[in-house]
Amino acid sequence: MKALRLIRRHPAATAGAALLLVFALAAALAPLLAPYPVDRRSGPADAPPSGAHLLGTDDGGVDVLSLVMHGGRVSLLVGLCAAVTAVVIGGGVGLAAGYFGRWTDSVLMAITDYFLVVPVVPLMIVVAAIWGSSVTHIVLIIGVLLWTTTARTVRAQVRSIREQVYVRRAETIGAGHLRIIARHVLPQIGALLVANTVLTIAVAIFYETALAFLGLGDPTAVSWGRMIQDAHRSSAISNGYWWTILPPGIAVTLVIFGASLLGRAIEDGTGAGLRPSRLAVRGFRVLPRGEVPPR
């Protein structure tokens, strides 16, 4: 009953969670559920969808449905790991900046602003090209470049918590920084961190497909990005083999869509949404909800 009420009250969040769940399950159970293996041909090359191959086959005669299921393993894993990396960095930076204020805040926010301006895709391309691309490298490259929005939202939230009366009181009766952060600050930004992780998963998967498309994905791993690149390279597009290009792209789109729906819903619940006035980097006097004016 409670679950039903929850669904009725938050249709967007439920739809987003359901989408993510379906794709996560399909990916996790791919070895069991996938109709064909993905490392060898299981039918004629470039066959359109049929009863035997529900989504057809690619130019190597590999079943596209199986590829989509297996590709989800890499794409979702990269998305999740990169998002966690980004949120750990961004959360740490935002927490330190918002909690300690003063010069810590100035320095950290200057760095954040720098990363906010730098064009992310070219930087990813350069680092991946020089460093070589394995799944681990891709995760780190994406994670290390995507923490800025998290840092800014967490900072704003921590600043307002910092000014709450009970935090001030805890400080007065001698609670240490670690205790205040662990007992009073972290529990309050938990939901915000979750929201940011979910939203960052969406962006990370977006960049994973971009890197793979530019030939910088892990050459040994099947991912959705790789499938899009393969379709592009094998001139499946000019031949009109729509079944090789639509399924991986639709999978990416639905996962990112689901993550955006869910992430935005959680964020709205925390009341710390990334309002335009908050994203504004420089000297805005329109204060976002809950932010304390600087003194």
Residues that bind another protein (CB under 8 A): 110, 113-114, 116-123, 125-127, 129-132, 202, 206, 209-210, 213-216, 225, 228, 231-232, 237-238, 240, 242, 245-246, 248-249, 252-257, 260-261, 273, 275-277, 279-286
For the record, the structure tokens of 263 come out as 């992430």
User: CA 135, 139, 140 angle in degrees (round to 5)?
Assistant: 120
Nearer to another protein, 136 or 239 (CB): 239
Closest approach of Cβ 245 to another protein, in Å? Answer: 6
How many whole angstroms separate alpha carbon 86 and alpha carbon 141? 10
How many whole angstroms separate alpha carbon 24 and alpha carbon 64? 18
Phi (first) and psi of residue 237, to 5 degrees: -65, -50
Closest approach of Cβ 67 to another protein, in Å? Answer: 15
Given a contact cutoff of 8 angstroms between Cβ atoms, the answer to whether 163 and 228 are in contact is no
Nearer to another protein, 170 or 287 (CB): 287
How many whole angstroms separate alpha carbon 156 and alpha carbon 94? 8
Q: How far is CA 19 from CA 25, 36, 160, 161, 198, in A?
A: 10, 24, 34, 34, 13
Nearer to another protein, 36 or 229 (CB): 229
Closest approach of Cβ 119 to another protein, in Å? Answer: 4
Nearer to another protein, 180 or 192 (CB): 192
Given a contact cutoff of 8 angstroms between Cβ atoms, the answer to whether 78 and 134 are in contact is no
How many whole angstroms separate alpha carbon 125 and alpha carbon 112? 20
Closest approach of Cβ 256 to another protein, in Å? Answer: 4
Closest approach of Cβ 213 to another protein, in Å? Answer: 5
Eight-class DSSP state of 63: B
Q: How far is CA 86 from CA 79, 90, 95, in A?
A: 10, 6, 14
Closest approach of Cβ 106 to another protein, in Å? Answer: 12
Nearer to another protein, 116 or 140 (CB): 116
Three-state DSSP class for residue 37: coil
Nearer to another protein, 42 or 49 (CB): 49
Nearer to another protein, 119 or 174 (CB): 119
Closest approach of Cβ 187 to another protein, in Å? Answer: 27
